[in-house]
Structure 1
Amino acid sequence: MPAPINPFKKSLKAGETVFGCWLGLADTFSAELMGGAGFDWLLIDGEHAPNDLRSILAQLQVLSASPSHAIVRVPIGETYLIKQVLDAGAQTILVPMVESAAQARKLVRDVTYPPHGDRGVGYALTRAARFSRTTDYGTTADAETCLLVQVENRKGLAALDEILDVQGVDGVFIGPADLAADMGHMGNAQHPDVQGAIMDALRRIRAAGKAPGILSTRDEMTRDALDAGAQFVAVGADVLLLNSAALALAQKWKKPTR
């Protein structure tokens, strides 16, 4: 029995556009709720949300029963973290703050089994291989593993063409918030210079045959990103959705102050 097909990777290879949402609440109950909302993919955030390996594992488990594909953003591109998340059952990994082709090549090796990579061969014990029930996991997992790298500062943009040349990188996500800050526009990803850099990067990624990705909570930016070729597009975050709805409800019903 081979590793299960990765529907997210299959969609990107087919040139399709898939829409997702960030999960930052670090909770299985809310993750399960989001899994039934109709998104193509959901990202479990290990960088800026209070997640650890066990909470990531628990969310992978509840999302496995949903039609939404689970992506995991690791906090940093460390080999041991990537290995643990893959063994926990993630098939798609997003790695933040990638700034060079050398870093991208290392990440490709991290998600690939020997002899072409360095991923540890302990799948007999893992959830990823269904605890040895996926008998051909070792020979088929690489083809279904999807590596997304995040370019989110000027150094990364300067190295973008070299990063795009790295075989094994499936997609490149442009991080608007960090890029805006690095360009001197903290908290203002809508600045024309930042938007110009983002859209140019998305077009270059698509032209290189990789899948471009973005997070946008503004419809105008989302449409511009789609026009520039974005394929995996996050259009919200559970934290922001809850916060927005809670503020609106409180404002609707609270008594006016005198």
Structure 2
Amino acid sequence: MPALTRLAISATPSLAFSSSKKCTAKLQILPSNLIKFPLNFNPPQTPKLSIKAKSSSSSNPSTVNDASASSAPDSLKSRLKNGETLYGIFLLSFSPTIAEIAGLAGYDFAVVDMEHGPGGITDALHCLRALSATRTPAILRLPESSPTWAKKALDLGPQGIMFPMIESPKMARKAVSYCRFPPEGIRGSAHTVVRASDYGIDEGYLSDYAEELLIMCQVETEEGAKKAEEISAVDGVDCVQMGPLDLSASMGYLWDPGHKKVREMMRVSEKGVLKGGAYLGGFAMPHDGPIDLKTRGYHMVSGTVDVGLFRSAAVDDVRKFKMSLIQGSDDEAEDGKDGDEKYWSE
């Protein structure tokens, strides 16, 4: 290693140099083996800022309010504890623009679906950032219930995580363990650098993460539906999400999710979830609308899917135009009448 240089400057103790006083500099060459660095160096801590907003009456300092407390929206778990019924949307397109529109539209939450959508972790991150800009809580649905997928998803910092195809209390306990750091679980730790902890800036992350994270287990097979109450009672499971499409397929009614036997199994499972103590979540269906779910005690209702919304709007738009071509002769006969009508702003 080459020798390092040290510049030693000696000068008068005056705060300003004058022309009558000299400043001398001595250059010393020190061997590299004499240079020692402290082993216990810690970077300076960045002080936390408390942002406060002044009231309209600036002359009264006692009326100053803490803006950080009032500006932060309530978490999903706190809203559920307050008895609210939350209405959300599933995002399969992985379009940040659609995610942003969904947030601005006023949905209480958005589920970024990595199970059936084409995107992965990187694509989900873009959607989470778009939702964060609209202050809309994001839930990530995993492709499978595994510690690796859970770890990568949780490091992004969603408010909720959804595990698919949970069929037993044992699987539910494993899912919860994927969300907890040791010794309570097996989640890998990189909390000093990941987005979930504001890249290490949030010093309270380790103290608060378990309380703030909404853990959802999806019951969507006949076997899981029969054990819904036991799954709901597992410590750490906050919400059980019913899956009517996969449930109907597992019962042999792939093309008929509204079949009587499927509906009966759904009702038994719903009652089991509520009895077990977890919140009840589910999808609205053509035969089972959002209000129907709310009436039966659902706490979280997903009313639509972004791809389905666009599909319906696009098909309807094309249909209207095609129908107008068929009815063109009738419209042409009334062209004279249209000319006499005034535009709304005239």
TM-score by length of 2: 0.70
Equivalence for 1:164: 232
CA distance in 2, matches of 1:176, 1:45: 16
Question: Structure 1 residue 95: deviation in Å?
Answer: 0.8
Equivalence for 1:77: 145
Find the residue that maps to 1:233 and give its secondary structure. Answer: strand
Equivalence for 1:206: 274
Counterparts in 2 of 1:209 and 1:227: CA distance versus 1, 3 Å: same
Question: Structure 1 residue 5: deviation in Å?
Answer: 7.9
CA distance in 2, matches of 1:31, 1:57: 11
CA distance in 1, matches of 2:142, 2:281: 16
Percentage identity across paired residues of the two chains: 33
CA distance in 2, matches of 1:250, 1:74: 35
The 5 A counterparts of 1:103-252 are: 103-218=171-286, 220-252=288-320
- Structure 1 window deviating more from structure 2 (214-223 vs 183-192): it is 214-223
The gaps in structure 1 that reach 5 residues or longer are none
CA distance in 1, matches of 2:74, 2:173: 22
Question: Structure 1 residue 219: deviation in Å?
Answer: 6.9
Equivalence for 1:68: 136
Question: Structure 1 residue 187: deviation in Å?
Answer: 2.4
Indicate if the aligned counterparts of 1:93 and 1:148 stay in contact, CA closer than 8 A.
yes
The 5 A counterparts of 1:85-100 are: 85-100=153-168
CA distance in 2, matches of 1:131, 1:67: 19
Aligned residue identity for 2:78: K
Indicate if the aligned counterparts of 2:113 and 2:140 stay in contact, CA closer than 8 A.
yes
CA distance in 1, matches of 2:178, 2:239: 16
Question: Structure 1 residue 29: deviation in Å?
Answer: 1.3
CA distance in 2, matches of 1:208, 1:102: 15
78, 86, 90: which one pairs with 1:10?
A: 78
Aligned residue identity for 1:149: C
Find the residue that maps to 1:123 and give its secondary structure. Answer: coil
Question: Structure 1 residue 217: deviation in Å?
Answer: 3.7
Question: Structure 1 residue 91: deviation in Å?
Answer: 2.3
Indicate if the aligned counterparts of 1:202 and 1:225 stay in contact, CA closer than 8 A.
no
Superimposed CA distance per residue, residues 68-126 of structure 1 (whole angstroms, 9 cap, x where no aligned partner):
21111010011011111111111200111001111110111111122211112211110
Indicate if the aligned counterparts of 1:5 and 1:144 stay in contact, CA closer than 8 A.
no
Aligned residue identity for 2:159: Q
- Structure 1 window deviating more from structure 2 (200-209 vs 126-135): it is 200-209
Question: Structure 1 residue 228: deviation in Å?
Answer: 1.6
**Larger relative contact order (CA 8 Å, sep ≥ 6):** 1
- Residue 45 (structure 2) pairs with residue 45 (structure 1): no
Question: Structure 1 residue 131: deviation in Å?
Answer: 1.0
Indicate if the aligned counterparts of 1:24 and 1:238 stay in contact, CA closer than 8 A.
yes
Aligned residue identity for 1:27: S
The gaps in structure 2 that reach 5 residues or longer are 1-47, 49-71, 328-346
TM-score by length of 1: 0.93
CA distance in 1, matches of 2:255, 2:306: 20
**Could you say which structure has the larger radius of gyration?**
2
Question: Structure 1 residue 154: deviation in Å?
Answer: 0.8
CA distance in 1, matches of 2:74, 2:178: 18
Find the residue that maps to 1:71 and give its secondary structure. Answer: strand
Indicate if the aligned counterparts of 1:6 and 1:145 stay in contact, CA closer than 8 A.
no
Aligned residue identity for 1:100: S
Q: What is the CA RMSD across the aligned residues, in angstroms?
A: 1.8
